[in-house]
Structure 1
């Protein structure tokens, strides 16, 4: 449940701010990298 909510929050943030979201994901800490991996793996399920 928490992971799903986090993924939705990330997707909403990226959707709201595409350029900033992509830049942040690419240049951020390993923590952001984990969120990126979660988002990519969950996208097909959405």
Structure 2
């Protein structure tokens, strides 16, 4: 493979992994530990 192809595949894999981790953090089991700052400081 050419170096450019390997670079593109590597960058794409990192982007997909980061997106999957962000979705898991936002909607998966760790989301139960997240707090809404607007609810905490409601007037």
- How does the TM-score come out when normalised to structure 2? 0.40
- In terms of fraction of residues, the more helix-rich structure is 1
Higher relative CO (Cα under 8 Å, sequence separation at least 6) belongs to: 1
